[in-house]
Amino acid sequence: MLTGAPLSRFRKNLLAWFAEFQRDLPWRRTRDPYRIWLSEIMLQQTRVAAAIPYYERFLQRFPTVEALAAAPQEDVLRLWSGLGYYSRARNLQKAAQQIVALHGGVFPSEPEQALALPGIGAYTAAAILSIAFQKKHAVLDGNVARVIARLDAVRGDLRANGTWPKLQRSADHLLAEQSPGDWNQAMMELGATLCTPRSPQCLLCPVSEFCEARKHGLADSIPEKRRKRSTVEITLASLVLVDPRGNTLLLAPPKSAGKSAAADDIHTLVSRMWHFPTVSVHQGNAGAEAQLRKFSEESSILGRKSRAKLLPLKKLRHAVTYRSITLLPFKVEVQTLPRIPSTKAFPLTGLTSLAISNLTRKVARAALASP
Ligand code: SF4
């Protein structure tokens, strides 16, 4: 573990490199905790380049915590639509409401209060508090963990019991307490741009002289690859009803926030948003039409013993975390859409302005592309 003069030099080198080479990102031009918080939530599971336009649109519509807290959830989800992992958006709004109710609309600067907000874990709290309030908390995310593991030549699975807390202790020890916000961003930037998962660019690295992995030729083999959860194949069949005015029928998101553990839970797969009538197909693709028809008749979407012709559309592929999904959409033309609870008619061409999942969006596109 670095101490004394080498530790000072390590911090100086990294901070100087960050000052000169950091990427110009919109959330780096502000100390506003709301903006930093939003960026940290968007960057969980989303690449920087993909997050930027969402970040800017979101702030145009919700420039303050109060505006976000007061908005209809549908509007928040619509602006998140396409980013995926919608629980992030729901928690963001719930936290904004708590901040308005309990903290006068200002993101709390104390860790206990920050950690009590929905969607804020140890990493996010440390990032916001250090960058916005210069609090002395070291962040540890995947990028920082990889950098530290290489610096200290830590072997094995970094998320294993015991290893992650050890990495957090190292991150705490390295933290430059005079500038914790810049320090944390510098560590993350190093992991994101030079000390990357594959082919780290050690020749350009500002702290290579301190790196044990580099010294021992281990940079490429640390961290060890984690065993991936094996892929689960799922087949879904969706029904796109279209009336003569081009309207279609969508089912409402479920009222309860409960999560099903089943890999093919439809509400999970459509991100708990408006969606086409959809079933999980269990007896091979050949049975898809019959199973979809049975479901649609039982839920009064189609009349009993309906003779409506289900036209198969182009087969689609979609992936949600470990699930590999084959989507079999069917279109059916009807004179009138059924009026049943928990459903609503929407113009098929206007679905993009709704809060819908990417899976539902793909089905809509396939229906629009069909003759
Ligand atoms: Fe990462 Fe290479 Fe720098 Fe070590 S020398 S911290 S492996 S980029």
Per-residue burial over 295-310, b if 16 or more Cβ lie within 10 Å, else e, is bbeeeebbeeeeebeb
Assess whether pLDDT exceeds 90 at residue 283.
Answer: no
The per-residue pLDDT for 304 is 82
Indicate if 206 and 75 belong to the same structural domain.
yes
How much is the mean pLDDT over the chain? 93
- 204 CA: nearest ligand 1 atom: 8
Q: What is the pLDDT of residues 76-100, one digit of tens each?
A: 999 998 888 899 999 999 999 999 9
The per-residue pLDDT for 215 is 97
The per-residue pLDDT for 68 is 98
Residue 224 in domain? no
CA distance 247 to 240: 10
Interval between CA 191 and ligand 1 midpoint (Å): 9
The per-residue pLDDT for 261 is 66
Assess whether pLDDT exceeds 90 at residue 354.
Answer: no
- 219 CA: nearest ligand 1 atom: 7
Assess whether pLDDT exceeds 90 at residue 117.
Answer: yes
Structural domains in the chain (count): 2
24: confidence class by pLDDT, cuts 50, 70, 90: very high
Peptide bond into 53 cis (omega under 30): no
Q: What is the pLDDT of residues 157-176, one digit of tens each?
A: 998 889 999 999 999 999 99
Q: Under a CB-based contact definition with an 8 Å cutoff, are residues 265 and 234 in contact?
A: no
Q: Whose CA is nearest to atom 7 of ligand 1?
A: 219
212 classed as catalytic:
no
Cβ atoms within 10 A of the Cβ of 291, count?
A: 16
Q: Whose CA is nearest to atom 2 of ligand 1?
A: 202
CA distance 28 to 39: 10
Q: What is the mean pLDDT of residues 198-214?
A: 97
Indicate if 207 and 239 belong to the same structural domain.
no
- 206 CA: nearest ligand 1 atom: 3
The per-residue pLDDT for 76 is 96
Indicate if 99 and 236 belong to the same structural domain.
no
Residue 221 in domain? no
Indicate if 18 and 117 belong to the same structural domain.
yes
Instruction: Report the pocket of ligand 1 as residue ranges, CB < 6 Å.
Output: 147, 150-151, 194-195, 200-202, 205, 207-208, 211, 213-214, 219
pLDDT over 70 percentage in the chain: 98
The per-residue pLDDT for 225 is 82
Locus of tokens 């021992």? 216
Query: Considering 163, 187, 215, which residue would you say is the last residue of a domain?
Result: 215
Locus of tokens 């901040």? 99
The per-residue pLDDT for 369 is 92
Residue 108 in domain? yes
Query: Considering 215, 246, 277, which residue would you say is the last residue of a domain?
Result: 215
Interval between CA 332 and ligand 1 midpoint (Å): 57
Indicate if 18 and 155 belong to the same structural domain.
yes
The per-residue pLDDT for 320 is 86
The per-residue pLDDT for 45 is 85
- 222 CA: nearest ligand 1 atom: 7
Q: Under a CB-based contact definition with an 8 Å cutoff, are residues 318 and 365 in contact?
A: no
Assess whether pLDDT exceeds 90 at residue 3.
Answer: yes
Q: Which of 132, 136, 135, 154 is nearest to 145 (CA)?
A: 154
Interval between CA 181 and ligand 1 midpoint (Å): 21
Indicate if 176 and 298 belong to the same structural domain.
no
Assess whether pLDDT exceeds 80 at residue 352.
Answer: no
Query: Considering 215, 241, 262, which residue would you say is the last residue of a domain?
Result: 215
Q: Which of 129, 151, 264, 148 is nearest to 215 (CA)?
A: 151
Q: What is the pLDDT of residues 286-330, one digit of tens each?
A: 789 999 999 999 999 998 877 888 999 999 999 988 899 999 999
The per-residue pLDDT for 292 is 94
Q: Under a CB-based contact definition with an 8 Å cutoff, are residues 87 and 41 in contact?
A: no
The per-residue pLDDT for 353 is 77
CA distance 242 to 108: 49
Indicate if 12 and 124 belong to the same structural domain.
yes
CATH code at position 318: 3.90.79.10
Indicate if 279 and 171 belong to the same structural domain.
no
Residue 308 in domain? yes
Q: What is the mean pLDDT of residues 93-109?
A: 97
Name the residue of 207, 212, 216 whose CB sits within 8 Å of the most ligand 1 atoms, as the mutation to test its pocket: 207
Interval between CA 39 and ligand 1 midpoint (Å): 26
Indicate if 17 and 146 belong to the same structural domain.
yes
Residue 73 in domain? yes
At a CB cut-off of 8 Å and minimum separation 6, what does 189 contact? 18, 21, 22, 23
257: confidence class by pLDDT, cuts 50, 70, 90: low
Assess whether pLDDT exceeds 70 at residue 258.
Answer: no
Indicate if 30 and 176 belong to the same structural domain.
yes
Indicate if 22 and 137 belong to the same structural domain.
yes
Locus of tokens 């350009």? 204
Q: Is 127 exposed, middle or buried (0-12, 13-18, 19+ CB in 10 A)?
A: buried
CA distance 71 to 153: 48
Q: Which of 93, 94, 81 is nearest to 46 (CA)?
A: 81
Q: What is the pLDDT of residues 30-55, one digit of tens each?
A: 999 999 999 999 999 899 999 999 99
Indicate if 143 and 97 belong to the same structural domain.
yes
Encoding tokens for residue 194? Answer: 């030079």
288: containing domain: 232-369
Assess whether pLDDT exceeds 90 at residue 285.
Answer: no
Q: What is the mean pLDDT of residues 346-364?
A: 90
Interval between CA 215 and ligand 1 midpoint (Å): 10
CATH code at position 9: 1.10.340.30
Assess whether pLDDT exceeds 80 at residue 255.
Answer: no
Q: What is the pTM of this model?
A: 0.80
